[in-house]
């Protein structure tokens, strides 16, 4: 009899579990059926789904070499969120106070008209934007120390609605401290994108936080239109110049790998990057002999590290003078345009404005195609 009662109870328990699972699945299916997915065309690191009263950002590839995903819930003022424990962070939107941790986040805030909501940033000297530096001078953006060692006491006193961080491996104890204080931390992985337009599309991530999705879409579409139009112009060039990139650091020559952001720009500008067939999205580490052997006769040199003049290059290594591009003076750098405190403007703004980068490169590779265009990021080394 006891055996029968046990079996009967087990059947009831399993049935209850099955009903619970069925109910949860039904609820999820119903929620999914009422969701609206935002259009993300180029970025591979995130997507956005809108539901009744809340939105969900799903973050993929938060840092290289991981298959982990994060789910962030953005809850409207009068919205309710089912199963909040299913999310890595919950944020009430639109947000009013924000802390960001990368200069690449700054242009999105500016373009969306939300710069005044920025209350803190680690290492303010890195910021180049004139508008943001005015806010810093007025004391409206607080210094938070170094990115790898954020002053959590000051940050917690600021009481932001959200902190936008980035991770290289997911082991950031500072972010855990911030989360434990009740302030949500959202990873932004714009830097892991390899498509120029993919990086720029992360403005939609910020648009969702401020309930400015339509404005973010409009800004991105304008950038996309300009980029694709410039790419089409470049495709009509009569020739495709050969290109070398990078420079040496401690006897190692670093240059973009063939699947990288930088290599994609050169391809879209109709340039023949000599290392375009190398695999990977980061940097190649090469010795001088191999670079000289392959790139000796390259017609154009783009991005020679931090050098700002040909003499500076020659003084660092006479090997640079052996390249055809150096001899002909066709060396172009983005390192010469800097902000008030020495930050390179390219590093801050270029990921958000790939259309301007591409036009610069077309002007370098095919000057006859953009006669009235003036360089925005690049300059020819003297």
Domain chopping of the chain, boundaries: 32-223, 236-380
Distance of CA 31 to the CA centre of its chain: 30
Q: What is the pLDDT of residue 2?
A: 40
Fold match, 32-223 / 236-380: yes
Task: Tell me the backbone φ, ψ of residue 299, rounded to 5 degrees.
Answer: -80, -35
pTM above 0.75, yes or no: yes
The tokens describing 350, both together, are 């270029």
pLDDT of the chain along its 382 residues, tens only? 444 333 334 333 344 444 444 444 434 444 444 567 778 999 999 999 999 999 999 999 898 888 899 999 999 998 889 888 899 999 999 999 999 999 999 999 999 999 999 999 999 999 999 999 999 999 999 999 987 789 999 999 999 999 999 988 777 889 999 999 999 999 999 999 999 999 999 999 999 999 999 999 999 999 999 999 999 999 999 999 999 999 999 889 999 999 999 999 999 999 999 999 999 988 999 999 999 999 999 999 999 988 999 999 999 999 999 999 999 999 999 999 999 999 999 999 999 999 999 999 999 999 999 999 999 999 999 9
Compute and round to an integer the Cα radius of gyration of the chain. Answer: 25
The tokens describing 205, both together, are 């991530």
Give the three-class secondary structure for 198. helix
Q: What is the pLDDT of residue 1?
A: 41
Q: What is the pLDDT of residue 205?
A: 98
Report the CATH number of the 32-223 domain. Answer: 3.40.50.1980
Give the three-class secondary structure for 118. strand
- DSSP annotation string for 74-115: EE-TT---S-GGGSSEEEESS-S-EEE-SGGGHHHHHHTT-G
Name the DSSP class of 260. S
Rounded Cα distance, 70 and 35, in Å: 18
Q: What is the pLDDT of residue 167?
A: 85
Q: What is the pLDDT of residues 253-266, one digit of tens each?
A: 999 999 999 999 99
Rounded Cα distance, 280 and 260, in Å: 7
Q: What is the pLDDT of residues 309-339, one digit of tens each?
A: 999 999 999 999 999 999 999 999 999 999 9
Task: Return the CATH superfamily for domain 236-380.
Answer: Nitrogenase molybdenum iron protein domain (3.40.50.1980)
> Edge-to-edge strands of the sheet including 69-75?
36-37, 46-51, 54-60, 69-75, 89-92
- Contact between 349 and 107 (Cβ < 8 Å): yes
The tokens describing 42, both together, are 């180029």
**Angle at 114 (CA atoms; ends 108, 119), nearest 5 degrees:** 100
- b/e per residue, 296-320, with b = 16+ CB within 10 A? eebbbbbbbbebbebeebeeeeebb
């Amino acid at each position: 009899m006891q055996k029968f009662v046990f079996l009967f109870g087990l059947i009831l328990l399993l049935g209850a579990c099955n009903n619970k699972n069925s109910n949860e699945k039904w609820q999820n299916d119903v929620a999914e059926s009422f969701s609206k997915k935002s259009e993300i065309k180029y970025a591979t690191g995130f997507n956005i789904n809108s539901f009744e009263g809340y939105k969900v950002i799903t973050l993929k590839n938060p840092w290289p070499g991981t298959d982990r995903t994060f789910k962030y819930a953005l809850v409207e003022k009068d919205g309710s969120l089912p199963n909040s424990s299913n999310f890595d962070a919950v944020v009430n939107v639109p947000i009013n106070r924000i802390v960001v941790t990368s200069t690449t986040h700054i242009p999105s805030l500016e373009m969306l008209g939300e710069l005044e909501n920025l209350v803190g940033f680690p290492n303010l000297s890195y910021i180049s934007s004139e508008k943001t530096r005015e806010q810093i001078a007025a004391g409206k953006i607080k210094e938070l120390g170094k990115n790898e060692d954020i002053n959590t006491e000051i940050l917690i006193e600021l009481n932001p609605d959200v902190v936008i961080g980035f991770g290289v491996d997911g082991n950031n104890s500072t972010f855990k401290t911030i989360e434990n204080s009740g302030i949500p931390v959202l990873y932004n992985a714009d830097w892991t994108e390899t498509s120029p337009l993919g990086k720029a599309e992360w403005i939609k991530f910020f648009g969702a936080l401020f309930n400015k999705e339509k404005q973010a879409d409009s800004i991105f579409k304008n950038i996309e239109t300009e980029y694709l139009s410039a790419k089409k112009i470049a495709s009509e060039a009569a020739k495709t110049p050969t290109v070398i990139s990078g420079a040496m650091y401690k006897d190692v020559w670093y240059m973009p790998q063939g699947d990288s952001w930088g290599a994609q720009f050169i391809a879209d500008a109709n340039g023949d990057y000599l290392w375009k067939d190398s695999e990977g999205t980061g940097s190649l580490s090469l010795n001088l002999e191999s670079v000289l052997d392959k790139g000796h006769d390259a017609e154009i040199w783009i991005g020679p590290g931090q050098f700002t003049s040909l003499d500076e290059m020659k003084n660092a290594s006479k090997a640079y003078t052996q390249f055809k591009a150096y001899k002909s003076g066709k060396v172009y750098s983005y390192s010469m345009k800097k902000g008030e405190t020495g930050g390179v403007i390219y590093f801050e703004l270029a990921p958000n404005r790939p259309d301007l980068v591409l036009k610069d490169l077309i002007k370098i590779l095919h000057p006859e195609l953009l006669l009235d265009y003036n360089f925005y990021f690049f300059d020819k080394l003297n």
